[in-house]
A and B are shown apart, each in its own frame.
Chain A
C-alpha cells in the first residue's frame, strides 16, 4: 500500500521532464541564433579553402571537396592593390607598426591620467575629464580636419607616428575612464601610507599602482589591440597608400573594380585581417567581456 502511493506523495525535487516546452523554446532559439552568428565565419573559412572552379559550381556553405591553401598564399603575398602586388603582408606589417606603439603610448598616457585624476586632483582636473568623456561622443568627422592641420604643423601628417598620436588621442577618453574607475577602487589609505613614507608622484605610480593594476592593464590592452587593429577611418585619413593599415588595404583589395573577382582570395584576406582580433578574443575570454562592460559603465 505504502509502496503504491509512494510515487504520488510529493517528496524531494519536483519531477520534471528534461525536454520541457520551455527548454525546447530556450535552447531552440539560442541554437538558431547561434547559427546566424556562426554562419559568416563558416562561410569565410570554407570559401577561403576552395578553388575558384569549385566556388562557381557549389554552394558557399558546403565544405571544400579539395582543400587548397593557394588563396591564403595569394592573399598574403600576391594580391594587388592598385599597382602594388605584394599582398596583404604589407598592410599586416604596417598595422603591427601602428599597433605596438599606439597601444603602449595610449595606455601609458591614460593610466597616468586616471591615476592623477584619482589621487592627485588639481583644480580643474575633473573639468578636463568631463570634456574628455563628452568628447568621446563627438563624431570623429568633426575633428578629422583640425587634426590634419595639427599633424601637418608638427610634420607628422601622413606618417605612422602621426597615426599613433591620433590613436592615443581617441583612445584616451575610454581608457582614462577605465583606469580612473579602477584606481578609485584601490583603498586611498594605501596611497596615503606611501606618501607618509615619502614616495612621490612617479614613485607611487610605478611601485604601488602599477603592480596592483595588472588585470586592468590587460583589459586595456585587449580593448586597444582590437580597437586599433580594426580602425579604418584614421588609417585612410592620416596615412598614405604605402603605409595603409591592413583594414584599408583589405578593403582596397576586395572592393577593387579591376580584374576578375577571386572570392576565395578575398575571403582568405578577410579572415587574415580578422585573425588578430579573433585570436585576442578567444584567448582573453571573460576579460574581453569585462573590457566592453567597462566601456559601458557610466563615468
Chain B
C-alpha cells in the first residue's frame, strides 16, 4: 500500500497552547479520511497544516512521497474546499475556476478543457457565466469543489464543506461527494463535526480531542468498539448509556446497582476492576416483561420520544437514566416496570480511571 499523506510527529503550538501534539497519521492512496471531533479539537488545524496554510512547530508532512513541510500550498498537489466557499465574489464561476490556472500560465485550451471537465462532473455547466452572488448555497459549494477539481491534484482537503447548508442540501451534497470520490478515486481528507457525515463518507475516521487522535478506524469499528469513553460518547445519536459499576468474578460479570450482568460473549478481557463503566447503545437493549438473571436489568419507564420509525424510551435503572430504542408499536406506559435485556456482544466496558475500553 502506498501512502498518499504521511504526518510524522506533527506538533503545533500557538504560544503556550499546544493545538496538535506529536501527531502521526498515514493516509493510503485513494482513501477517504474524515477528521471528526468537537470544535477546538485541532481537526481544522491539522487540515490547514496539511494544506500548508499553517506552519507546524515541529514534525514533517509528506504528500505523495515528497516532504512538503516547507512547500507552499500551491506546490503541494492539493485542492481545498472551504466552509465559507471562499469564492472570489467579483469573478464569474468560470473566472473562479480558471484564476489559479491562468496565474500558473497554463495554455488556454488546457484551461478550457479542465473547466469543461469540472463543469461536467459537477453539473455546473449552465452556471459558468454567473457570479457567485447569483448562486444558491449548494451551487456555490459545487463551484468551490470545482476549483479544487480543475487543479487536477491527488489530494482533496475539505474543511467542513457542508456546515453552511441546510439539512436537505447537506445530505444531497454528501452523496455527491461520495460519488465524486468513487469516480475520481483520489485521496480525500475531510473535516467535520457532524458524525453522520463522518460515518457515511469515511473509509476511516480519526476521532480527535485536544490535539490528539483518540481513535483511527473504520466507521463500524469506531461505532461498535470505541477506544475510550470520549469516542463512545461522541459517536452515536442518541448517545451511549453509561452504567457505572465494577467487574466481578475475574471479569466474567459486571455488577451495577446490585444487579449482575454476565459478560460471556463480550469482545475483550475486562478483568477484575473495582471501578468500571458499562457502555450500552440504545439499540442494544431490549425491553421485556420478565427478568432473566445475569441477562437483564430492572428499570422504570419515565417518558418516551416517538421519532417516526421508532421511539426512544427513557427509563431509570438503578438511579441512572437509560435510553432504549424500541419499535413504535411497543411503546410502554410511563411508570411501567420493565426489564432490559443486554446485548453483551455489542457492549463496551471501560475502566473508570483510564477511560479506556478494556
Q: Would A and B touch once assembled, by the CB under 8 A criterion?
A: yes
Chain A positions near chain B (C-beta within 8 angstroms) = 9-15
Contact of B56 among A9, A13, A15 (CB under 8 A): A13
Contact of A9 among B55, B57, B58, B60 (CB under 8 A): B60
**In the complex, A212 Cα to B69 Cα: how many Å?**
49
**In the complex, A288 Cα to B104 Cα: how many Å?**
44
Which of chain A's residues have a CB closer than 8 A to the CB of B70? 10, 14-15
Q: What are the nearest 4 A-B pairs in CB distance?
A: A10-B69, A10-B70, A12-B58, A14-B70
Within residues 29 to 87 of chain B, which ones have a CB less than 8 A from any CB in chain A? 55-60, 67-71
Which of chain B's residues have a CB closer than 8 A to the CB of A11? 58-60, 67, 69
**In the complex, A18 Cα to B229 Cα: how many Å?**
46
Could you say which of A9, A11, A13, A15 has the most chain B C-beta atoms within 10 Å of its C-beta?
A11
**A-B contacts, 24 listed (Cβ < 8 Å):** A9-B60, A9-B67, A10-B60, A10-B69, A10-B70, A10-B71, A11-B59, A11-B60, A11-B67, A11-B69, A12-B56, A12-B57, A12-B58, A12-B59, A12-B60, A12-B69, A13-B55, A13-B56, A13-B57, A13-B58, A14-B55, A14-B69, A14-B70, A15-B70
Instruction: Count B interface residues, CB 8 Å.
Output: 11
Which of chain A's residues have a CB closer than 8 A to the CB of B56? 12-13
Interface of A is mostly: loop
Which of chain B's residues have a CB closer than 8 A to the CB of A13? 55-58
Which of chain B's residues have a CB closer than 8 A to the CB of A15? 70
Chain B: which residue is nearest A15 at the CB level? B70
Which of chain A's residues have a CB closer than 8 A to the CB of B60? 9-12
Interface of B is mostly: loop
Chain A: which residue is nearest B55 at the CB level? A13
**In the complex, A28 Cα to B56 Cα: how many Å?**
29
How many interface contacts (CB-CB < 8 Å) are there between A and B?
Answer: 27
**A10 near B67 (CB under 8 angstroms)?**
yes
A9-B60, A12-B58 provided; 9 other pairs, C-beta below 8 A?
A: A10-B68, A10-B71, A11-B59, A12-B56, A13-B55, A13-B57, A13-B58, A14-B69, A15-B70
Q: How far is the CB of B275 from chain A (nearest CB, A)?
A: 41
Which of chain B's residues have a CB closer than 8 A to the CB of A12? 56-60, 69
**In the complex, A9 Cα to B68 Cα: how many Å?**
10
Chain A: which residue is nearest B60 at the CB level? A11
Chain A: which residue is nearest B10 at the CB level? A12
B306-318 Cβ-contact flags toward A at 8 Å (1 or 0): 0000000000000
**In the complex, A58 Cα to B67 Cα: how many Å?**
63
Could you say which of B57, B68, B69 has the most chain A C-beta atoms within 10 Å of its C-beta?
B69
Which of chain A's residues have a CB closer than 8 A to the CB of B71? 10
Which of chain B's residues have a CB closer than 8 A to the CB of A9? 60, 67
**In the complex, A14 Cα to B59 Cα: how many Å?**
11
Q: How far is the CB of B234 from chain A (nearest CB, A)?
A: 31
Q: How far is the CB of A175 from chain B (nearest CB, A)?
A: 33
Which of chain A's residues have a CB closer than 8 A to the CB of B69? 10-12, 14
Could you say which of B56, B59, B68, B70 has the most chain A C-beta atoms within 10 Å of its C-beta?
B70
Q: How far is the CB of A15 from chain B (nearest CB, A)?
A: 8
Which of chain A's residues have a CB closer than 8 A to the CB of B55? 13-14
**In the complex, A10 Cα to B75 Cα: how many Å?**
14
Q: How far is the CB of A47 from chain B (nearest CB, A)?
A: 45
Chain B: which residue is nearest A14 at the CB level? B70
**In the complex, A9 Cα to B60 Cα: how many Å?**
9
**In the complex, A12 Cα to B57 Cα: how many Å?**
5
Q: How far is the CB of A10 from chain B (nearest CB, A)?
A: 4
Q: How far is the CB of B312 from chain A (nearest CB, A)?
A: 31
**In the complex, A13 Cα to B67 Cα: how many Å?**
13
B227-249 Cβ-contact flags toward A at 8 Å (1 or 0): 00000000000000000000000
Could you say which of A9, A10, A12 has the most chain B C-beta atoms within 10 Å of its C-beta?
A12
**In the complex, A15 Cα to B71 Cα: how many Å?**
12
**In the complex, A11 Cα to B56 Cα: how many Å?**
9
Q: How far is the CB of B127 from chain A (nearest CB, A)?
A: 30
Chain A: which residue is nearest B70 at the CB level? A10
**In the complex, A13 Cα to B70 Cα: how many Å?**
7
Q: How far is the CB of A299 from chain B (nearest CB, A)?
A: 22
**In the complex, A80 Cα to B60 Cα: how many Å?**
74
**In the complex, A11 Cα to B55 Cα: how many Å?**
10
